[in-house]
Amino acid sequence: GTVKVGMSYLGNTAASVSAKTGNDTLSSTDSATEEAIKRGADALNAAGGVAGCDVEPVIFNFSVLATDYNQVSQQECVEFTQDNKVVAVYAAGYETSLAADCFAKAKIPSFYTPGVSLFQPSCDASKRDSFYAVASVFTCRYGSFIEMWDDAGLFPDDAKVGILEFASFDGSKQNEAMVDEQWAPKLEKLGIPMETFVMTRPPTSAGYGEVGTQMNAAILKFKAAGVNVVLFTPPGATMVTTFLPAALAQDYFPSYGLTSSDGPLGVLLAPDGIKKGVTISWHIADLPLTAQQALPLNPAIQQCAPWSIQSSGTTVGVLPGATNYCDFFNILAAGFKGAK
């Protein structure tokens, strides 16, 4: 038999379209993305499929050029729950809470990419069991990082923590809640005082000069307060890559709590800026530990990671997010193992 899975991606075609419209309506980059998704399904099917069934991807192009993301989310909801009865969804566009609520109501397990989707549904306690992250960690999962950093020896006896808090841009206030409800109480229990600097996201890319200004202000505040350990909320990469060089320029050398999503690039940009840092692996599926342990090592599926995009006969690079598609298909194979 065959099972359908919903696959959305953030495209640059003028209007959001589903696979049934045909690739002739898509931009060359979007066509390449859809081809890569199909290759992933082919690789999974060649490796035995899901519970003995072939996987048929239902592809939805979520246009970044759309003027109303709620409207597009509604279109995606209809495509995946009514026009096609999919068994799982990988939502890699700018899905809003409308799509998340739709999939939860339909009892369809959904996978998102934190920092991309506008709504981070896994942190909604009423729906948490229905949503997962692919090759990332949802904001609410950061709560356990304090214990991990502590076990790894990040905090000295005289630790004073500075938290660079990235104000949530989707209105959910999830970073704020994560700091107030999880990090702050855990640091207090450890007897570690803390300072917080809230960084706001510029309204447009033209305002990214503000980032450097805010970073310098945070460094001045942390230095004055005697902060010797700095932590970052998601999305950490934006802050780490600007904070570390700025701190180095001001001869400020705290220890850093990082993730593998932001740490390597920060070190690359300011290799002399870190005297001590502890990095937590980010690139794992956001699943229960038992499911992680059951995740199959499937070479046929893993081969999708290095796929290259072909444009006019020229290789233009590795498909963005290709490893996320790989992870999704691997998760699908593990999660539905033994299903009928």
Shortest CA distance to 325 belongs to which of 2, 76, 10, 79?
10
pLDDT single digits (tens) 21-41: 444 577 777 887 788 788 778
Q: Which residues contact 307 (CB under 8 A, 6 or more apart)?
A: 36, 39, 318, 319, 322
Residue type, 265: L
pLDDT computed for residue 338 by the predictor: 38
Q: Which residues pair with 131 in a beta bridge?
A: 110
pLDDT single digits (tens) 203-246: 444 455 677 788 899 999 999 999 999 998 876 656 787 888 88
Q: Enter the DSSP assignment of 201.
A: P
Q: Is 257 left (phi over 0), alpha (psi -120 to 50) or beta?
A: beta
Q: Is 66 left (phi over 0), alpha (psi -120 to 50) or beta?
A: beta
Q: Which residue ranges in the chain fall short of pLDDT 50?
A: 19-23, 203-206, 283-322, 337-340
d(CA 91, CA 111): 6
pLDDT computed for residue 264 by the predictor: 66
For the chain, the residue count is: 340
Q: How far is CA 296 from CA 30, 60, 67, 108, in A?
A: 29, 27, 40, 22
pLDDT computed for residue 300 by the predictor: 39
pLDDT computed for residue 81 by the predictor: 95
d(CA 4, CA 334): 16
